Structure 1
Amino acid sequence: MASSSAVGKLSREEFRRQKDLEAARKAGTAPAALDEEGRPINPHIPQYISQAPWYLDTGAPSLNHQRRPDYDNSGNKLDNWYDRGAKAGPAAKKYRKGACENCGAITHKKQDCLERPRKKGARYTNKDIQADDVIQEVAAGYDAKRDRWNGYDVAEHKRVYDEYAAIEAARQKLREEEIDNQTTTDLAAVRKVAKAGKAETKTDADFGSSEDEDADEDKYADAADAVGQKLDAKTRITVRNLRIREDTAKYLINLDPESAYYDPKTRSMRDAPLKNVAPEDAKFAGDNFFRYSGEAPEVQDLQLFAWQAAARGNDVHLNANPTQGELLHYEFKQKKEELKDTTKTSILAKYGGAEYLDSAPKELRQGQTENYVEYSRTGQVIKGREKAKARSKYPEDVYVNNHTAVWGSWYDTSTGSWGYACCHSVLHLSYCAGEAGIEATQASSAQQLLASSSTVAESKRPETEETEHAKVLEKVEQNYSKKRIGEGDVKLDRDRLAQAVLEERKRKARGGKDDDDRSSKKQKSALESGSHDVTEEELEAYRMSRRMTEDPMANYVDTDL
C-alpha cells in the first residue's frame, strides 16, 4: 500500500475508497497488495510497521525497510587474519639494495626486523639471507578490528600449559626420589627435604607455584562467611546468598532433559543428576542426599515420635517443649530395646539356637586392606600414610586460669548457680584455688554459718540463757535465710498494734516537728544510733498509715490545657 507521504493529501472520496479496499483485503474478498518484487503483503500488518519512514519511502508498497539488507560479509569474518611466519619462496643468494641490513629480507627494514641482531649484518657478510615475508591484505571489518582475541592461536597456550605441567611433574618426581633415598628414620630430616623443595618452588622465578597463594587462602579462610549465607552485623539476619561463581550449576552437571528435575525458583534439584555414580563419589548427589545426612534423620524420628504420641492423647509437642520430647523419646527407645531383648531372650530360651548368633568380629572378617604403612623402631611413619584420627572442630582439652574442669561442670544447689567442679567457684574466668577453694566455699555457705553459729552459741551460753540463744538463732535465720520480709507465720499482738497505731496517728498530727518532746528526741536518737528495734506491730502501723493517706494527685487540675 502506498504511503500518504508519497501520494500526498488524499481527498475524502479517495480516502473512503482506500479504507474500503483495506477492509476488503482484510476480509479476503480483495487480493493482497504486492511489493516491488511481487510478493504479497499481509493486510493485517499494522500501518506503523508497513509504512516506510520518509527517508526510505520509494512511493510503492513494500516491506524492504523491515528486512535485513543483503550484502557480502565475506571480508568481515572474525577468522580472517594474517598467516604467521609465512615466507615467500626461497631466500635470495645476494644482498639486495633496500633490503633489511640485519637479515637480508626485502619486505621490511632493519628497525622492524624480528631476527636476532647480528654482530655483522647480511649487508656486510652477504650470508644467511632470510626469505622474504608474505605481505597479506586482510580486509577486517568493524568487529574484526575491535576483537582483542582476533588472530589468537589456541595451540600456543596449550604448549605453555604442557610445559608448566611437565616441569611440575619432574619437580614432584625429584622430591619423591629425595625422600625415598633417605636412609635415616629421623622425621626431622624428611621435613627438611620437604621444606627445601618448597623453598625451591618459591624461589623459581620462571615457573612459580601456587603454594604461597594456598597459604594465603588458608590464612583468611577462617574469617570468611559460610557458603551460601551472608550475615549482616547490623540487623543480625542471615540472608540467603547466591551460589559461588566457581561452582558448577546443578543443571549443568547433566544436560539430559530426562535427568533429575531442577526447580529454578528455589534453585533445588532433589534427585541426583548422575544415576550411575555413587553418592560418595559424585560432586553433587542431590539435595535429598544432604537432607538425610548428619543429624537430620534423628530430628525426623523425634518429630514422628511427637506426632504419634500426640495422636494417642499424650501432651507432647516438639516445638512447645523440646526438652520433654527429648526425654520421652529417650525413655521410649530404652523401653523398646529392653522389650526387644526380652523377646529375643524368651525366643532363644524356648527354641534355642543362641550358638548360631555368635560370629567373628568385623575387624577379623574384614581385616584385609590395601593401605600399607611402615613404621620405624621409634614409631615414626616411613612409608605410607597413617590413618587420621577423628577430631572435633571445637577446641579440646583447653583449660584457663589453672582450672582442671570446664565452666558448668558443677552446680551449686544452695544458690542455684553454675561453676567449676575443680574449685567450686561460681565466678566465670576466675583463678582456680583447688581444694582450698572448695573448703572456702563450704565454709562461707549459709548452712555452714548456721551450724557454726549454733555451735558457738551452745558452747558459750549457760543452761539458764535460753532466751538469748533463741535471739541469736533468730538473728542468724533472719540474715541468712531465703525467706523474704513479710513472708512466714507472723503473729501480731493486738494491744501493742493498737498502741502503735495510736502513736503513729499522734506523730502524723504533730507533723514530726515536735523537737521539744523528750520522748521524740530519745526515739530520734535511738533511730539514728541504730539501737532501736522496730517491732512487727510498729511496722504494720506504719503500713496502715501509708494506706490511709490521701492520694496527692486526686484533686490535681492541669491548667496548661
Structure 2
Amino acid sequence: MASSSAVGKLSREEFRRQKDLDAARKAGTAPAALDEEGRPINPHIPQYISQAPWYLDTGAPSLSHQRRPQDDRTSNKLENWYDRGAKAGPAAKKYRKGACENCGALTHKKQDCLERPRKKGAKFTNQDIQADEIIQEVASGYDAKRDRWNGFDPSEHKKIYEEYAAIEAARQKLREEEIDNQTTTDLAAVRKVAKAGKREDKEADPDFGSSEEEDADEEKYADAADAVGQKLDTKTRITVRNLRIREDTAKYLINLDPSSAYYDPKTRSMRDAPDKNIPAEDAVFAGDNFFRHSGEAPDVQQLQLFAWQASARGNDVHLNANPTQGQLLHQEYREKKEQMKDVSKVSILAKYGGAEYLERAPKELLQGQTEDYIEYSRTGHVIKGRERAKAKTKYPEDVYVNNHTDVWGSWYDMSTGNWGYACCHSDIHISYCAGQAGIEAAKASSAQVLLSSSVNPPTDEQKEEEETEKPGERVEQNFSKKRVGEGDVKIDKDRLAYALNEEKKRKARGGGDDEDRFNKKKKPLESGSHDVTEEQLEAYRMQRRNAEDPMANYVDNENSY
C-alpha cells in the first residue's frame, strides 16, 4: 500500500475504494501515486516501508522518510566561534541607564559582569566605563557545543612559554650574582649555591653542579629503573626477556639484499652475518653463530656435553637440576685428563725417547707470519689482540727524581715500619739518593747495630768520657741480647738506690702489681728494646713481699714468754 496513513479513521466505503485503487495500481491499470517532488511511488512497496511514522507524517504519499536528509552542516563546523573579547567601538563617557553598575557596559548586568568588583561602581563614579561587547549568535552543532577546545587560540599559549623563559632567566641571573658575591674560593660553596638553584627549577644546568652529584642521583634511582630490553618489576622481580631491544635496528634491515643471510621470522634468528665484507669485530651484528662461539658460550656447551655423556654412562649428573655439581665434576674430569695426558706423555718419552724433537721454535718464528690479529699503538703497546694491554693510571709511572733508581715504596723497613727507596734505604720522601753509602749509613744507624755495639767493653777513652760526665746526666743502660735479669750483669749502685726510692714511693701510693711502676709521663725511659732496667727489676725484687715465706708475718713479742 503506497498511500500514506489517513488523517482520520476511514469509513468502510473509503477503505474499500482504497483497496481497489491499490490493486489497480499493482495491476498497472491505474497510474502510480506521486510524492511531493513528482516522482512515482512503486505500488509493490510494503506498507510498513511506504507508511511514514507519526512524527514524520506529512499527510501526503511520500518516501522522503526512507531517504537520507540533505543536512547543511555548515553550522556544525568547529571553526565557527565567536570573536572572544571583541568590543563595539569606543566606550561611553557617562553612565547610561540600564547599564552594568560595576563597569558601565550595556550588554550585561551587574551579576553577569566579569570585571573585578569595584569598591564604587561606574554608576556612581562615571569613571573607567568599559565598552560594550559584541553579542554574536554562533549556531553550533552537537560536536561544536561539546568541544572543550572550540574557540581556543594557540597563540595564547605562547605567552606561557615567554613567562617561564623570563622567570628562568631571572633565576639564572640571581644565581650568577650569588656566586660572584662569594668571598670564599671554596668550590663546595659554589656547588651548594648551584645545587640550591637546581632544586628550584628542577632542571639540569650544564654550567653548574658536578658529575659526582649526577652519578649519585643515577645510582640512587638505578635500582628502581627498568633494564633496557627487559620488563623488570622491582617489587616482584619477574623478568620477561624481549627478543630484541626496540632501539636497535632489526636484523633483517641491516642488509636488504635477498641473497644475504637467511632470517627465520618464526624464531627471529639470523645465524650467518648479514654483511660478509665487514669483519665480525667491527660489525653491528655478526650473526647468532658469532655469539655462540664467543665469551663463555663454548664453556657452557662443553659443560652441557659433559653432563649428557656422564648421564649416558650411568652417572647422576644433570646440568639444570644441580649445576654446581656438574661444574665441579667437569673441573675434576679436566684436571684428571690433563694429569693422565702428562703421565702418558712422560711414559712414552721415557720408553721411546724423542723429547728433543718436541722442543721446536714457535710457528710464528718459523713461518714469519701468523693468523692472529694483534693491533699495536705507536708506542708499541698492545691495544687489541691476543695480549691484554696493561691499564695505565692517572699518576706518572717509572719517573725517578733526585738521582733515585727506584720509585718510592719499593723498600720497607721492618724495624721502623716505614716505606722508602730501595736504592738508598731512605724513608724520607723526595730525598736525594745517596746510593750504597746511604744503605751503609742506614744499617749503621739502626737500633740493632747500636744495641749490639753497647755489649762490647768500653775502651780507655770511653771510660775517661764517662768519668767526666755530669752527675745529673743518666748513664747509658747496658742492653744486650740476653733477657733482663739473666746472666752476669753489672748493676749501678746509684741507679739501684734511685730505683728503690721510686719503688717505695709507689707502694706508699698503694699501687698494685699491674700499675705502671715507673711513670713514663714524668720520666720517660731511654729508647731501646726494653722498658725495664736491671736496677728497676732488682729494686722490685728487693721490695716484693714473699707470701710463701713462713717467717714473713713473724713478729717478735717480748711478752710472749
The TM-score, its normalising length taken from structure 1, stands at 0.34
Q: Which has the higher helix share?
A: 1
